[in-house]
Amino acid sequence: MKIQSIKSTLVALTLITALFGCSDSDYIAKVDGEGITKHVFDLYLAEKRIPATNPKRIESALDSYLEREALTNAIESSESLDVDALELEIREIKKQMLISRYFDQYLKSSVDEEAIRNFYAAHAEDYTLKRVHVAHILLRTRANMDESEIAAVATKAHEVHSKATSTDDFSELAKEYSEDKVSSIKGGDLGWLNDGAVDALFIKTAFELKQDEVSNVIKTPFGFHVIKSIELPETIQKSFEAVKGDIRYQLRAEAKKVEFERLLSTVSIEKISND
C-alpha cells in the first residue's frame, strides 16, 4: 500500500485547492522540496488569530509552522506509527469539522434576529403568564399519620378557618398557626404564584378567590390549607428579551433537524453484507 504523507493529508482537509497550479514564485518556503504557499500560511495565521500587523509574531509563527511540517515529515519517514490508524483519525476529525462548521454557518443565517422576533409575534399567547398573589395557613399532614391523626389536623384547620373568616388579621393567624415556616414569618404571604407552579387544587382555588376573600379548607399532599387573596389574578406578557434565548434554541433545533434530513436525502447509503 502506498502511504500518503500525513502532512499532505492534513493540508488537504481544507487547503488542497489552494496548492494547484503553484510555481516556485508562489511559495514562501519549502520543506523537503514541497512548497508552502503564502495563501496557505495566511489561512494558518487567520486560524491562529495572528494579526497581519505584527511582523514579529508572524515570523515566529512561520518558524513554528515549518518546524512542525519538518517534524511531521521526519516522523512519517521513520514508519514507526500506524499511518492507517492516523488517517482514520484525520478522516473523523475532518467529518466533525465539516459537520460542525456547516451547521454553525447554516443556523447563523437561517435563525437570525428577525426569525426569532417573527416567531415571538406569531406565538404571543405562548408567552403570557397568569399569576395570583395569595397568603395561606398550612397545617401539615405526614405520610406516617393514621386516619385519626389526619382527622385531628383537619379539625384544627377548620378552627383556624373559622377564626380567619371572623377577623381581618389573617397575617397574625398565619404567624401563630401556619406550619409553613418560610411564609408564616411573612404573615403567610406566598407572593405571586404562577399558574401551574404549585399543586393544581391549590392554584385553582387561589385563582377563583375574590379580592381579600378567604377560601374554604382544602387538602393537598402537604396538608390542609386556608388561603386568602391578596391581589387578584393578572396576565402578563413575557418580554421578547426574556424568551428570545429559548426561542432561538427551539428554532435552531428544528432547523438543524430539517437540514440534517435534507442533506442525508441527497446522498445514497448502502450497507454491504459480507455473509
Phi and psi (nearest 5°) for 69? Answer: -60, -45
Cα–Cα dist 128/239, whole Å: 9
b vs e for 202-212, b when ≥16 Cβ sit within 10 Å of the residue's Cβ?
Answer: bbebbbebeee
Give the strand order in the sheet containing 218-220.
Answer: 189-194, 128-140, 223-237, 218-220
User: Each residue's pLDDT tens digit in the chain (275 positions)?
Assistant: 333 444 444 444 334 334 444 555 689 999 988 899 999 999 999 999 999 888 999 999 999 999 999 998 898 888 888 888 988 999 999 999 999 999 999 999 999 999 999 999 999 888 998 999 999 999 999 999 999 999 999 999 999 999 999 987 999 999 999 999 999 999 999 999 999 889 999 999 999 999 999 999 999 999 999 999 999 999 999 899 999 999 999 999 999 999 999 999 999 988 888 76
- Does the pTM exceed 0.75? no
Question: Cell for 218?
Answer: 382544602
What DSSP letter does each residue of 205-264 carry, written as one string?
HHHHPPTT-BPPPEEETTEEEEEEEEEEEEEEEPPHHHHHHHHHHHHHHHHHHHHHHHHH
Which of these, 61, 83, 113, 58, lies nearest to 8 by C-alpha position? Answer: 83
Q: Which CATH number fits domain 128-237: 3.60.20.10, 3.30.470.10, 3.30.200.20, 3.10.50.40?
A: 3.10.50.40
Task: Classify burial at 161, counting beta carbons within 10 Å of its beta carbon; exposed 0-12, middle 13-18, buried 19 or more.
Answer: buried
Q: How far is CA 52 from CA 40, 46, 55, 58, 64, in A?
A: 14, 9, 7, 7, 16
Residue 71's SS3 state is helix
Tens of pLDDT, residues 179-211: 999 999 999 999 999 998 899 999 999 999 999
Residue spans of the domains in the chain: they are 6-81, 128-237
The residues near 264 (Cβ < 8 Å, ≥ 6 apart) are: none
